[in-house]
Amino acid sequence: MAGNNAPITIKKYANRRLYNTATSAYVTLDDLAKLIKRGDDFSVQDARSGDDITRSVLTQIIVEQEGKTGETLLPVSFMRQLITFYGDPRQRAVPGFLEDSMQTFASQKPGTEPRA
């Protein structure tokens, strides 16, 4: 997270518009992706109910990014495997494993391959 300690609050309205309360401006999913890449933290709230819908908006960003170019990040085989863990007794272990794996991968110097 860059700079500020408190996450930015984004409100999602019934018309599907996203409103950044820090800048008092409407934003797009692309704008939110840029915030993430910049290291800014945000949470998304349903404007009517106040429910935290951050997870579903992040999922929308991933789906949009996957559809933009021919260079996808998530292989179909990985997505299928991930789906099989829903309802599986190991489901609770998957988020921690994926987080740890991603942190290890992200900590690698660019251009270096992790050791097998």
Q: Where are the domains of the chain?
A: 1-69, 74-108
Q: What letter represents residue 59's amino acid? A: T
CA atoms within 13 A on the CB side of 10: 24
What CA–CA distance (Å, rounded) separates 10 from 46? 9
pTM (predicted TM-score) = 0.82
Q: What does the pLDDT read at residue 46?
A: 96
CB 54 within 8 A of CB 43: yes
pLDDT digits (tens, 9 = 90+) for 3-59: 457 899 999 999 889 999 999 999 999 999 999 999 999 999 999 999 999 999 999
- The larger pLDDT score, comparing residue 105 to residue 71, is at 105
Angstrom distances, CA of residue 6 to CA of 2, 45, 47 = 10, 15, 19
